[in-house]
A and B are shown apart, each in its own frame.
Chain A
């Protein structure tokens, strides 16, 4: 049973470059979440989608960040232009909609380093 798949696992790039992070949620899950994790701030929700529609993007730090979900099996988080303070681990998670309290299933993250 495949879990949430994120790519790449590691990304190192220079300041000013465009960065694209990718996520494939678990099949059949209706919700998709993007998080950022740092030592100082812990896990922070950036944006989440329900049935491919962005519901809440209030956590997106700046206009340099954008996210899309063109279909139920794929989402991207883009940073353009990237800055050193964007360095963090970015997680994607998905969840089933339904009765009861369904857990979020996380991918293993993309470790992003902006030089």
Chain B
């Protein structure tokens, strides 16, 4: 069964600290993996996309990694800011024409 599991479910960190969010998937065949950020009361916004051949991709303070062999991805946030408080959703796409598989998200709270 195609699934996407994210951990932890929620996380609280102090402003300025780093953190890493995890995403494990069983989707096969695999096309790409995307991380979305969802602020409270808003729709998700794409942060980065990883294809099969990519191991690391950065978007400012956000760095995503992908290990297609172990079917794991991580999202690392450096020097966290209060505005990073949001839900982070991992979404995996299978072969063309198949539906996206969504994780349930990790809720990150950054406190001062």
Contact B43 A107 (CB under 8 A): yes
Cβ of B29 within 8 Å of any chain A Cβ, yes or no, is no
Q: Quick one: closest B residue to A58, CB to CB? A: B99
Q: Which of A44, A56, A93 contacts B43 (CB 8 A)?
A: A93
Contact B89 A101 (CB under 8 A): no
Contact B103 A42 (CB under 8 A): yes
Contact A45 B43 (CB under 8 A): no
Among the 9-residue stretches B12-20, B44-52, B62-70, B76-84, the one with 4 or more Cβ atoms under 8 Å from chain A is B44-52
Cβ of B42 within 8 Å of any chain A Cβ, yes or no, is yes
Chain B interface residues toward A at CB < 8 A? 31-32, 34, 41-46, 49, 51, 89, 93, 99-100, 102-105
Cβ of A27 within 8 Å of any chain B Cβ, yes or no, is no
Q: How far is the CA of A12 from the CA of B1 in the complex (A)?
A: 36
For this complex, 27 residue pairs linking A to B, each with C-beta atoms less than 8 Å apart, are A42-B89, A42-B102, A42-B103, A42-B104, A42-B105, A43-B89, A44-B102, A45-B99, A45-B100, A56-B99, A59-B99, A91-B43, A91-B44, A93-B43, A101-B31, A101-B32, A101-B34, A101-B49, A101-B51, A103-B46, A106-B43, A106-B44, A106-B45, A107-B43, A108-B43, A109-B41, A109-B42
